[in-house]
Structures are given as structure tokens and as C-alpha cells.
């Protein structure tokens, strides 16, 4: 069995750089938000609040349609009503949590109460918004959810990059 030569610092750093570019991390461009569910009046209101150039809205009428957007990556925040045609927020949250860099989920409802809020948070959702939407609250919660997602991505990238450097240096 042939032994490998130890990795040089430049090779270790290059390996870590390659890993960082492969992990889907947010850029400083528009913040991608996925709105999921029947996009009647609440979708219209959210589009009016989350306007370009800071926000890039992607819309999916159903959970099935949302999966396509999620598979493409780059979504930092997902927002959905409590009920969708083909699922509910719990089904969506379970799907999100199975992904490498899951977006933070914000659930909205006209009938939001403490029980819904506690359930969403306890299961791993980010927050609950009550309809009718208050512009400042929507912007604050969406921005905070995106910043939390961005931090998780950066932390994961740094952790994986650090692990790679340790392994590369030990060869």
C-alpha cells in the first residue's frame, strides 16, 4: 500500500475553498423567500410588503410545487399558511428539516393563537405571523429568519471546512 505525502497548507486550504463553494450559502443579493399555498389575498399582501430589490419572491401554489423550488436550493425562508391543498405546515417542516441547508419556516394564519405558536416553535419552525399582516412585523420576522438561516449556513460551512483541513493535514 502506497502512503500519501502529507498535504501542504496550500492544498488543505484549496480543499476547504472547494467545499465552501459547493455548499449553498446566501449571497449579498436579493433574499429568496418561497411563499407556499393558495396565493389569494395574503399572497398579494406579502408581495406588496416583500418588494424587490431586497426580496426575491418565489411562489408555489402547492406543497408539491414547492418541492421543486426547494430542490434547486438557495431559499433561506419559506412562508406558508397552516393548510395547503396537498399538505400542511407540519408536512412542509418535516421536509425542510430533512434537507442539508433547510430554510427557516414562517407559518401564517388568521386564527393564530398561543397553541399554534408554541407548536410551530417546538417542532422547529421559525415563527408565526397573524393575518391581517402588519408590514413592520412581516419585514422584521422575514429579515430575522433569513439572518438566522445565513448564520447556520456560515457556521456549517466553517465547521465542514475546518474538519476538512484537519483530515487533509493528517494524511
Q: Which of 22-26, 83-87, 131-135, 147-151 has the lowest mean pLDDT?
A: 22-26
Report the percent of the chain where pLDDT is more than 90.
51
pLDDT at residue 16 is higher than 50: no
3-class secondary structure, 86: coil
CA distance 68 to 60: 9
Please tell me whether residue 80 adopts helix, strand or coil conformation.
strand
- Report which secondary-structure segment, H or E, holds 103: none
CATH numbers and ranges of domains, the chain:
29-131+138-170 (3.40.50.2300)
List, in order, residues 6 or more apart from 98 with CB less than 8 Å away. none
Each residue's pLDDT tens digit, 22-64 = 333 345 678 999 999 876 766 778 988 998 889 999 999 999 9
Q: What is the strand order of the sheet 77-81 is part of?
A: 55-60, 31-36, 77-81, 104-109, 127-130
Q: With a cut of 90, say whether residue 155 has pLDDT above it.
A: no
Q: Is the peptide bond before 124 cis (omega within 30 degrees of 0)?
A: no
Instruction: For 37-57, give the DSSP string.
Output: S--SHHHHHHHHHS-TTTEEE
Most confident of 66-75, 107-116, 119-128: 119-128
For residues 126-154, give the mean pLDDT. 95
Q: What is the pLDDT of residue 41?
A: 63
Question: What's the pLDDT at 28?
Answer: 62
The dihedrals phi and psi of 131, each to the nearest 5 degrees, come to -90, 145
How much is the pTM?
0.76
Amino acid at each position: 500500500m502506497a502512503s500519501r505525502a502529507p498535504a501542504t497548507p496550500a492544498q488543505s486550504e484549496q480543499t476547504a475553498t472547494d467545499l465552501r463553494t459547493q455548499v449553498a450559502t446566501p449571497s449579498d443579493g436579493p433574499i429568496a423567500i418561497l411563499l407556499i399555498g393558495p396565493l389569494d389575498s395574503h399572497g398579494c399582501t406579502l408581495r406588496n410588503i416583500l418588494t424587490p430589490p431586497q426580496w426575491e419572491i418565489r411562489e408555489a401554489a402547492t406543497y408539491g410545487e414547492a418541492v421543486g423550488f426547494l430542490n434547486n436550493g438557495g431559499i433561506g425562508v419559506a412562508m406558508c399558511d397552516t393548510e395547503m391543498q396537498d399538505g400542511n405546515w407540519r408536512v412542509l417542516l418535516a421536509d425542510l428539516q430533512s434537507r442539508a441547508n433547510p430554510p427557516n419556516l414562517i407559518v401564517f394564519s388568521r386564527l393564530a393563537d398561543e397553541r399554534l405558536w408554541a407548536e410551530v416553535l417546538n417542532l422547529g419552525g421559525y415563527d408565526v405571523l397573524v393575518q391581517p399582516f402588519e408590514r413592520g412585523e412581516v419585514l422584521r420576522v422575514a429579515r430575522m429568519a433569513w439572518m438566522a438561516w445565513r448564520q447556520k449556513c456560515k457556521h456549517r460551512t466553517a465547521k465542514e471546512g475546518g474538519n476538512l483541513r484537519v483530515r487533509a493535514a493528517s494524511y
